[in-house]
Amino acid sequence: MTAASADRVALVTGASRGIGAHIVQALAGAGWTVVGLSRSGQVADGAQGVACDVTDADAVDRAVRQVVDEFGRIDLLVNNAGLIETEQPLWDADVDEWWQVMVTNVKGPFLLMRAVVPHMLSAGGGRVINLNSGSGTRESDVLTAYHASKSALARLTGGVALAGAQHGVHAFDLAPGVVESDMTHSMKLHQGRTEWTDPEDVKALVLAIADGELDGFSGRFVRAGTDELDVLRRRSAEGMGEGERMLRLRPWGAGDPLSG
């Protein structure tokens, strides 16, 4: 597909394997022009590869400029690149490994959104999908960096959704469930697991968001393998209440001074 015929352009990070490869294939199959970022520049079939360290601000800016210069636009950003640390209590954690998870999972999406969203604003709108996790909604005794990073990512998603709403920019947290991959196989948590989230469920949610079918969930969580797409479409059209599918403090009851 040439730049002149690129009607819809998606930029996907972590596009070489795993969930990123599934997302690339889904978007390309639906007719999107897909550019994939990875450290090596190698990406799944269906995407044009660009070498980029998503934690390097200059590298991210160069990669985004390259995409915009070639195709003239970026309509969809999928922040998929991520890391997980060795499973152990916080006090046993390696400092550098722990912090690298935060850098990759939080700074990376921040840099991509910071570079891409201005182009969406200029174009009159766009969508961002951040690959989040149910881990971001709860604590862990052995994965403190990963859980903290996903909680922080939800705040970035919400901030972009709020600031971008009047400009047609929407942002979503998509929890992919537990898709079979190198990462999930490496985790003690999933040793012996026999049931996995079907990648087709992830693909279906990505395409629905990309097509604008779930804009009512901007700033909120959706989860592959649990959410039914028809229900999400209906709830999106009806509108969501304050705090629904968002990270919020739960007061102990009406008498809690924080309840207001």
Q: What is the domain partition of the chain in residue ranges? A: 3-238
Choose the weakest-confidence range: 167-171, 229-233, 255-259: 255-259
Q: What is the pLDDT of residue 260?
A: 66
CA-CA distance, 25 to 15, in Å (whole number)?
A: 10
- Per-residue pLDDT averaged across 184-199, rounded? 68
* Among candidate residues 8, 23, 117, 103, the one with its CA nearest the CA of residue 61: 117
Residues with catalytic annotation? 146
Cβ-proximal residues to 26 (8 Å cutoff; 6+ apart), any chain: 202, 203, 206, 207
Residue 166 has pLDDT above 90, yes or no: yes
Q: 39: how many CB neighbours lie within 10 A of its CB?
A: 15
Q: For 149-185, give the DSSP string.
A: HHHHHHHHHHHHHHHHGGGTEEEEEEE-----SHHHH
Residue 240 is given by DSSP the state P
Residue 194 has pLDDT above 90, yes or no: no
Alpha helices (H) in the chain, listed in sequence order: 18-29, 57-71, 95-102, 108-123, 144-164, 182-185, 199-210, 229-238
Cβ-proximal residues to 173 (8 Å cutoff; 6+ apart), any chain: 130, 132, 136, 153, 154, 157, 220, 221, 222
For 138-167, letters b (16+ CB in 10 Å) and e give eeeebbbbbbbbbbbbbebbbebbeebeee
| Tens-digit pLDDT profile for residues 7-64 | 899 999 999 999 999 999 999 999 999 999 999 999 999 999 999 999 999 999 999 9
Q: What is the pLDDT of residue 40?
A: 94
Residue 105 is given by DSSP the state I
Please state, rounded to an integer, the average pLDDT across all residues of the chain.
93
Whether this prediction's pTM lies above 0.95 is answered by: no
| Tens-digit pLDDT profile for residues 73-116 | 999 999 999 999 999 999 999 999 999 999 999 999 999 999 99
Which CATH fold topology does 3-238 show?
Answer: Rossmann fold (3.40.50)
pLDDT band of residue 177 (cuts 50, 70, 90) is confident
* Look-up of token digits 């990462």: 183
Share of residues in the chain with pLDDT > 70 (%): 90
- Per-residue pLDDT averaged across 131-147, rounded? 96
